[in-house]
A and B are shown apart, each in its own frame.
Chain A
Amino acid sequence: MIGLCTYGGYVPRYRLNRGIAYGAMSWINPANIANAKGEKAVANFDEDSLTMAVAAGIDALKGIDRSTVEGLYFASTTMPYKERLNSGIITTALGLNDNIRAADFGGGIKAGTTALLSALEGVESKRINNIVVTVSDSRLGKPASPQELVFGDAAASFLVGDENVIAEFKGSYSITYDFGDHFRGQNAKYDRQWEDRWIRDLGFDRFVPEVVNGLMSKYGLKVTDFAKVIYPCHYPAARRKLNKILDISPEAEQSNFQAEIGETGTPQSLIMLISALEEANPGDKILVVSFGSGCDALYFEVTDNIKKLNSRDGISGCLANRADLDNYTKYLVWRDILPVEGGLRSEEDLWTRWSALWRSRKTVLGLWGGKCKKCGTAQFPAQKICVNPNCGAVDQMEQIRYSDKIGHIASYTGDMLSASLNPPAIYGQIEFEGGGKFLFDLTDCDLDSLQTGTPVTMSFRRKYYDKIREISGYFWKAVPVKEGE
């Protein structure tokens, strides 16, 4: 049996109330009030599509021996690198093997389901046993554009394989059209779109039924056979119309989280799939449709294993972990839309020394440390000479992964002098359970909520953005575990 073995979700902690963004820009585009309801998930200043993809991947791999993973596909239309394999950064961050197949899927926003299909069919071919698929986007609309309000940031991930399958892959149907509803050119920062009425009335109204009916006739099914029908369409009127045309009952309709997250691009239908799986029962049939330069339709059937899946954040957990981003200009600065004076201190040249990153990639991107084979002392980074003064063994480090360890804050501060897009810059010494200690930046938290002893988990983040070379550098930060988690 081939299918989804696990799922993992990620929605950034900060949520921007659309009314605040609309209020700031309504003077120029009052008609945007139609999009001003609810809130959108916004990547923190140190997040991008790649870091969110890592976070979702970590969630998907909970309880999985990462050394057994054989492939990783990353889908996004907002990858930080045009050249340098983005999925290669992710495999290093996740601590996967070197002898692994990795690929980036991009272009249209149906690339998420296409990556998933490629993984499913790859496993089906029996030439590869499993593949992690992680799908993420952080698309930008210009201030006052509909997209600014409609879009949100999130990521979804799955382990595709043939063991412990929770949702069996039963089949698919695809259509592809060169449909220019949304587009970005070679150097475009912002999404552009054609008229909403055309996207809605020609795009969604025609393509979604075409792909759904195509799958139904291919497999001899009808829509009412499905417990959940998932398709991404943020236009409420179009959704109502499609539900009617396709005979999708209110129970079978899956929320698109437009009021909580926003239209997330490549991961959109997959986030909805995760949410459906969180509620699913064995035997449920689930139809997943993506949209963007055509459609993919995927047909799954939930198995008994769904009941055995260990706990994870998924989408529901991420939705519960939220904080207001109550400041529109902060959003603009975080996304590098509004130029801001960061002070002379922020103008330092943030170069990447590639040869140095190469030899320390396991430490920097993977957060691997060492454990002394002689005395057992865990230490980060791994040392040539064991840090235990009573040991001092040379070259005796076995590699251990710190990215999934729990730490505790031993000391901390909030620094107003450091150049930061989210001042104060919070950092502190983190002591890991099982040994090891290091000074880490803290993120996704407020200074007032911290105290010594607070538990933290580690999160892969953008450490710097090099404005001269237009590239991002990455490392790990500590995120305080919120109450109730």
Chain B
Amino acid sequence: MADGIKDKVAIIGMGCTKFGERWESSAEDLAVEAFVECLADAGIDKQELQAAYIGTHFDEVNVGKAAVPIAVALKLPYIPATRTENYCATATEAFRAAVYSVASGVYDIVLALGVEKLKDTGYGGLPGGGGMGVMGRMVGANATAPGLFAQLATAYGARWDVPMDKIKDAIAHISAKSHANGALNPKAHLRKVISEDQIKAAPMIAYPLGLFDCCGVSDGSAAAIVTTPEIAKSLKKNQDIVKVKALQICVSSGEESIHNTWDGSHFVTTRKAATKAYEEAGIKNPRDEVSMCEVHDCFSITEFVTMEDLHLSAKGGVYDDVMNGFYDLDGQVPCQVDGGLKCFGHPIGASGLRMIYAMYEQILDRVPEERKVKNARIGLTHNLGGSPASNVAAISIIGKD
């Protein structure tokens, strides 16, 4: 009988580049940068890696298809290397594959690495249309990511009878909080403190989302090396061992996009994945037991509804938690402690591992006092790929005993 992933795999090393408009760095350069930091943190030699899972998303820019280009860039020693791709949850998929391969007993030490080079498109936002598939090109709306997620706001307002100006207040607070956190982080892409008034006055991108409701489009890479808890203890005698507590992924079934059972105001997938993740991790009351989280704040409204979907805020009640500072850095469950996608940045194929990196460095007490989460024991990451109507929700929980 399967009993889940809890405490079966440990993280012994992580690396993360500075995210941003890395005009002088290729995807390969970025991957090497994260990889070198990760290897040094793990304290192992490259020859000890037995397998690698490489996450990349856009074929239109970046490195093209397959794991081969990055395996070549890293000069991996003729080990199995496999590409993972699942929209914006790509890096969590790489992590999950690495963790499961260790848990299966097939390998002892495995690399997960995600990388994305977005800033070779020549324009803002994500690369367009190529990935829609033949049918999508014929019947898909003329949509971009901001517009697909923006609809959460109109649907949430209709579902809970919340006026748009109240939603705008809350999502402005969300973005201001992430900007404040990002400003403290030298690896973050966007490092300016921005006021709620500035946020609300910004040019409209997709109603009701303005410029500051949208996350950074960034280049970057993040990596993790995972192994068994026993090997971790032998390698890291004087350090807390960070173990995987839960890994859950939930993928849309088509009900949200074409069945009349979903009102568009929340993520069906996130709710289901969160329930299973808490069960897997043995968490009874997430609001009290989760120390901190990194959620998929591609847009401020996504973070807004996600806090309910993660069962941290009551359904229909996130407005009060946001406005009361529950998710601020000094709040009860700090959220986006490194700046989030909003300010740390969002290189698609790297983001899931960047989130885990943010939790890892807090759990190991490696961050300066000014951005430290008190008693950081259990960190949750929520990595979402696709659109609200059709997506993959990936939740990881890591922690120390």
Contacts and interface: CB of A to CB of B under 8 A. Distances in A.
Contacts of B146: 413, 415, 417
A222 to B, nearest CB: 56
A416 interface: yes
Contacts of B143: 415, 418, 425, 427, 439
Interface in B139-193: 139-144, 146-148, 150-152, 154-155, 157-158
Contact of B154 (A387, A413, A419): A413
B205 A416 contact: yes
Nearest to B60: A348
Given A363-B139, A427-B143, A348 B129 contact: yes
B151 A381 contact: no
B204 interface: yes
B141 A377 contact: no
Given A439-B389, A463-B138, A417 B155 contact: no
A289 B123 CA distance: 55
B29 interface: no
B138 A379 contact: no
Given A417-B144, A420-B142, A429-B264, A436 B258 contact: yes
B45 to A, nearest CB: 44
Nearest to A429: B264
B259 A344 contact: no
B39 to A, nearest CB: 38
B204 A416 contact: yes
A411 B164 CA distance: 13
Interface in A363-384: 363-364, 377, 379-381, 383
A424 B203 CA distance: 12
Contacts of B324: none
A176 interface: no
A413 B265 CA distance: 13
A388 B259 contact: yes
Interface in A405-450: 410-420, 424-425, 427-429, 431, 435-441, 447
Given A379-B259, A417-B146, A452-B158, A475 B139 contact: yes
Contacts, number: 142
B207 A452 contact: no
B339 to A, nearest CB: 22
B260 A435 contact: yes
A417 B205 contact: yes
A432 B203 CA distance: 33
A440 to B, nearest CB: 6
Nearest to A388: B259
B240 interface: no
Contact of A414 (B206, B254, B260): B206
A455 to B, nearest CB: 15
A410 B159 CA distance: 10
Contacts of A412: 151, 154
B121 A413 contact: no
Given A343-B123, A414-B206, A418-B147, A437 B154 contact: no
Contacts of B253: 387, 389
Contact of B257 (A415, A439, A441): A439
A23 interface: no
Contacts of B204: 414, 416, 424
Interface in A84-108: none
Contacts of B121: 344
Given A425-B143, A452-B157, A413 B151 contact: yes
B316 interface: no
Interface stretch (A254-262, A264-272, A352-360): A352-360
Contact of B206 (A345, A353, A424, A438): A424
B197 interface: no
A428 B151 contact: yes
Interface string B252-285: 0111011110011100000000000000000000
A418 B124 CA distance: 11
A447 B260 CA distance: 24
B144 A418 contact: yes
Residue from B134, B150, B157, B258 whose CB has the most chain A CB atoms within 10 Å: B258
Given A387-B259, A427-B143, A413 B150 contact: yes
A410 B264 contact: yes
A171 interface: no
Interface string B18-52: 00000000000000000000000000000000000
Contacts of B130: 348
Interface residues of A, number: 50
Interface string B190-222: 000000000000011111110000000000000
Nearest to B154: A411
A283 interface: no
B105 interface: no
A89 B260 CA distance: 30
B74 to A, nearest CB: 31
A282 interface: no
A381 B129 CA distance: 20
Contact of B134 (A356, A415, A427, A453): A356
A473 interface: yes
A473 to B, nearest CB: 7
A473 B138 CA distance: 8
Nearest to B143: A427
Most chain A CB inside 10 Å of its own CB: which residue of B123, B125, B152: B123
Contact of B259 (A345, A437, A453): A437
Contacts of B106: none
Contacts of B209: 413
B135 interface: yes
A214 B376 CA distance: 96
A447 B207 contact: yes
B368 interface: no
Contact of B258 (A353, A379, A414, A447): A379
A417 B142 contact: no
A399 B128 CA distance: 33
A383 B154 contact: no
B259 A452 contact: no
A410 B256 CA distance: 12
A411 B152 contact: yes
A439 to B, nearest CB: 5
Contact of A438 (B135, B151, B208, B258): B258
Given A428-B151, A439-B389, A417 B125 contact: yes
Nearest to A435: B260
A300 B331 CA distance: 80
Given A415-B142, A415-B207, A436-B260, 13 more contacts: A363-B139, A411-B151, A411-B264, A412-B151, A413-B146, A415-B205, A417-B124, A418-B147, A424-B206, A424-B207, A428-B154, A437-B257, A452-B157
Interface of A: 343-345, 348, 350-351, 353, 356-357, 360, 363-364, 377, 379-381, 383, 387-389, 410-420, 424-425, 427-429, 431, 435-441, 447, 452-453, 463, 473, 475
Interface of B: 121-125, 128-130, 134-135, 137-144, 146-148, 150-152, 154-155, 157-158, 203-209, 253-255, 257-260, 263-265, 389
8 contacts: A410-B264, A411-B154, A411-B265, A413-B207, A417-B146, A418-B144, A425-B143, A439-B141
Q: When A and B form their complex, which 5 residue pairs have the shortest distance between CB atoms, in order from nearest? A: A415-B147, A411-B151, A411-B155, A413-B150, A427-B141
